[in-house]
């Protein structure tokens, strides 16, 4: 099996690598420390076509696939995860549900601007009491027959890209009815997905969270009070919203795995550079076997993680089953990202605790990767189920 990238994907990789080092790296530290969204960088990513990578040209996309998206995410995350998660959420969570489940009218209305980065979309799934248990959704939507509108009430939390100046919509999951459970245990909720445009009356976006990491990305709490949108804003089939978003999350785990791999590799890059420059007891610390072994292990983890996410992406692209492989990649890559960030901080010593060094940012950004888009515990559950347990 040849794991080398074809020429067009290698060209994409080198282009994004150069952008990350020449454009993102010099500016992102200031955005991060000031908790500011990097509109200038996002606009440039839009002009490069990164938000349209996995979408057909007919909708303004680049005609690529999830492998192309993952390559871009990995290269961005080698330098900064806030920028990478803005792209990941904008594509995997904001635009992909519309592409997979939207009507042709919905696609034509929203996808062109989402693909160019002129607009960001968000994915409203998580609630205060419905995180890993997404089936416990409390947000409701009822159809008002008199006006042919959905009336939405409830709240969502930890929603990425939901409150920027260029956010155009949030697709929210809501209970739209109930049906008898197949095991006669009572009734179960029918969860549907509904498109809510930004600025809709009753749709309130809270101030940004104060976060440990991802400080240059946008994360908000949302509330819905008698929010009315046309019945035509239903995304996909009524009652199929939960199943639809499980598919979206399966794909998104590949993207998060690529992002985590990039962070892990970025820790190697920064630590290797530092180990060659930093002198202690009269010689570079990279001449010490203890540091060499740390770096060797860090490189091994990043390399293995890359193979894992690319395998999952390849299966997805070729129409094969990929649920287990996506969970494996997400689980492994997120955990080794945390490990590499910890080791990078240790190699840098006291400087690793200073925010002026990228590894401090990477250390703060790594932990959420074991939580977002399915915790490590959920990934282990999924893997076990796919093994037949």
Q: Which contiguous run of DSSP H or E holds residue 89?
A: none
**Cβ-based neighbours of 151, under 8 Å, separated by 6 or more:** 141, 142, 143, 144, 226, 227, 228
Q: How far apart are CA 62 and CA 57, in angstroms?
A: 6
> Going along 198-259, which residue ranges are E strands?
203-205, 219-230, 234-235
CA neighbours within 13 Å on the CB side: how many for 283?
6
Q: How far apart are CA 350 and CA 366, in angstroms?
A: 19
Q: Judge whether 172 and 135 are in contact, CB under 8 Å.
A: no
Burial pattern 165-187, b for ≥16 Cβ within 10 A else e, equals ebbbbbbbbbbbeeeeeeeeeee
Catalytic residue among 74, 251, 335, 373: 373
Reduce the DSSP state of residue 333 to 3 states and report it.
Answer: helix
Q: How far apart are CA 214 and CA 36, in angstroms?
A: 10
Q: How far apart are CA 220 and CA 49, in angstroms?
A: 26
The CA R_g of the chain, rounded to the nearest whole Å, is 21
Catalytic residue flag (residue 373): yes
> Going along the chain, which residue ranges are E strands?
120-124, 140-144, 149-160, 167-180, 187-197, 203-205, 219-230, 234-235, 279-280, 283-284
What's the start-to-end Cα distance of the chain, in Å? 30
Q: How far apart are CA 322 and CA 370, in angstroms?
A: 20
Put residue 184 in one of left, alpha, beta given phi > 0 → left and psi -120 to 50 → alpha: left
Residues annotated as catalytic (active site), given as ranges? 373
């Amino acid at each position: 099996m040849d794991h080398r990238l074809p020429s067009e994907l290698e060209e994409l990789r080198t282009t994004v690598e150069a952008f990350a080092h020449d454009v993102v790296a010099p500016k992102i530290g200031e955005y991060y420390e000031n908790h500011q969204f990097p509109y200038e960088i996002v606009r440039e990513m839009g002009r490069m076509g990164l938000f349209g990578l996995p979408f057909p040209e007919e909708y303004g996309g680049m005609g690529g696939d999830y492998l192309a998206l993952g390559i871009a995410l990995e290269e961005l995350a080698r330098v900064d995860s806030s920028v990478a998660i803005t792209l990941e959420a904008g594509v995997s969570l904001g635009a992909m549900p519309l592409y997979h489940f939207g009507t042709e009218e919905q696609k034509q209305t929203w996808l062109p601007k989402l693909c160019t980065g002129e607009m960001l979309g968000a994915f409203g799934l998580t609630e205060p009491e419905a995180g890993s248990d997404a089936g416990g959704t409390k947000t409701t939507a009822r159809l008002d027959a008199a006006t042919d509108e959905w009336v939405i009430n409830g709240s969502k939390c930890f929603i990425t890209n939901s409150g920027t100046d260029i956010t155009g919509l949030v697709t929210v999951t809501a209970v739209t009815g109930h049906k008898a459970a197949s095991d006669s245990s009572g009734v179960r909720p029918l969860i549907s997905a509904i498109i809510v445009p930004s600025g809709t009356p009753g749709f309130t976006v809270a101030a940004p969270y104060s976060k440990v990491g991802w400080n240059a990305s946008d994360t908000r709490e949302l509330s819905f009070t008698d929010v009315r949108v046309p019945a035509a804003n239903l995304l996909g089939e009524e009652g199929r919203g939960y199943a639809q978003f499980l598919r979206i999350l399966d794909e998104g785990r590949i993207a998060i795995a690529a992002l985590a791999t990039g962070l892990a590799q970025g820790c190697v890059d920064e630590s290797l550079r530092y180990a060659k420059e930093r002198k202690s007891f009269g010689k570079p610390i990279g001449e010490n076997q203890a540091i060499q072994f740390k770096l060797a292990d860090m490189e091994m983890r990043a390399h293995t993680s890359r193979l894992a996410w690319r395998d999952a992406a390849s299966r997805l692209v070729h129409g094969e089953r990929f649920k287990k492989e996506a969970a494996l990649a997400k689980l492994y890559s997120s955990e080794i990202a945390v490990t590499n960030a910890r080791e990078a901080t240790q190699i840098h010593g006291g400087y690793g605790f200073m925010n002026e060094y990228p590894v401090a940012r990477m250390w703060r950004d790594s932990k959420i990767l074991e939580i977002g888009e399915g915790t490590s515990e959920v990934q282990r559950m999924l893997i076990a189920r796919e093994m037949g347990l």
